């Protein structure tokens, strides 16, 4: 019997961002410029044939109803086909509307816009400090692109996929146009602020410098290497069974 499974990413602690343009315009029959860009990143990580689809609000809610997940909380899903324990990715990932909106904003301006911490509220003792301009949500969206690309490469286990994605977050950001310095800042922020808050199924004790899930053991630059190799598909092979 062949069953449909889901590699579903739900990340806690980041807001959805504001409404803006529709990177899913044209439906499934049209590849939008953003989908082309995101699919290009997925191909560089997962290999030929990988693609990313941006779902509009109606389509995303329909996916949630069809597969019984919370469409408001989930950021992306990658369908998997086959028997449990031997499932393979369908070749594409569907991204939630907010994920695509945030990635569109990042790709349009992939640089640090001043400080990431802003003063909120009135001046004086009642003022509070927090993230600026949906910074947290945007860095989570970049991480989602890496996480789902790892699934498309053939890594089904969520904890493994998330750890490998953590180490490739800076590379994903650079492929979207960020400088190396800013991309590594983004990756370090995700590792320090968001990875520890993930659900247990998405975390591993081996996700550390020198751990079994360390992609770049010869380089001490956790969570990113000082220099990425020309291709990452070979680095991922021990985890994909290629």
Global pTM value:
0.85
Range scoring the smallest mean pLDDT among 5-9, 58-62, 237-241: 5-9
| Average pLDDT, rounded, for the chain | 84
Q: Which has more pLDDT, 169 or 120?
A: 169
Residue pLDDT, tens place only, 36-45: 999 999 999 9
- Residue 81 pLDDT grade (very low, low, confident, very high; cuts 50, 70, 90): confident
Sequence-distant (≥ 6) Cβ neighbours of residue 71 within 8 angstroms:
60, 61, 63, 64, 65, 96
CB neighbourhood size of 19 (10 A) = 10
Q: Compute the distance between CA of residue 123 and CA of residue 161 in angstroms, rounded to an integer.
A: 43
What's the chain look like in SS3?
CCEEEEEEEECCCCCCCCCCCCCCCCHHHCCCHHHHHHHHHHHHHHCCCCEEEECCHHHHHHHHHHHCCCCCCEEEEEEEEECCCCCEECCEEEECHHHHHHHHHHHHCCCCCCCCEEEECCCCCCCEEEECCCHHHHHHHHHHHHHHHHHHCCCCCHHHHHHHHHHHHHHHHHHCCCCHHHHHHHHHHHHHHCHHHCCHHHCCCCCCCCCCCCCCCCCCCCCCCCCCCCCCHHHHHHHHCC
Range scoring the smallest mean pLDDT among 17-31, 72-86, 219-233: 17-31
Position of tokens 């950021």? 75
- Residue 10 pLDDT grade (very low, low, confident, very high; cuts 50, 70, 90): low
**pLDDT beyond 60 at 129:** no
Position of tokens 């490739």? 168
**pLDDT beyond 60 at 124:** no
Separation of CA 94 from chain center: 12
Domain range for 151 = 3-240
Q: How many domains does the chain have?
A: 1
């Amino acid at each position: 019997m062949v069953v449909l499974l889901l590699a579903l990413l739900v990340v806690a602690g980041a807001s959805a961002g504001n409404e803006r343009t529709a990177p899913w315009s044209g439906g499934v029959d049209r590849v939008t410029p953003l989908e082309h860009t995101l699919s290009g990143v997925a191909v560089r990580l997962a290999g030929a044939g990988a693609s990313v689809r941006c779902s509009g609000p109606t389509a995303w809610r329909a996916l949630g109803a069809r597969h019984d997940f919370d469409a408001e909380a989930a950021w992306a899903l990658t369908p998997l086909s086959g028997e449990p324990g031997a499932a393979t990715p369908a070749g594409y990932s569907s991204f939630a509307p907010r994920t695509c909106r945030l990635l569109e904003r990042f790709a349009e301006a992939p640089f640090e816009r001043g400080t990431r911490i802003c003063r909120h509220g009135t001046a004086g003792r009642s003022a509070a400090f927090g993230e600026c301009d949906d910074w947290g949500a945007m860095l989570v969206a970049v991480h989602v692109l890496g996480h789902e690309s790892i699934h498309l490469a053939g890594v089904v286990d969520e904890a493994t996929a998330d750890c490998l994605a953590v180490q490739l977050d800076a590379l994903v950001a650079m492929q979207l146009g960020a400088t190396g310095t800013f991309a590594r800042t983004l990756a370090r922020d995700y590792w320090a602020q968001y990875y520890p808050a993930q659900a247990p199924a998405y975390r591993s004790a081996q996700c550390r410098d020198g751990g079994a899930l360390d992609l770049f053991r010869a380089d001490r630059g956790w969570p990113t290497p000082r220099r990425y190799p020309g291709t990452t598909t070979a680095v991922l092979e021990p985890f994909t069974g290629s």
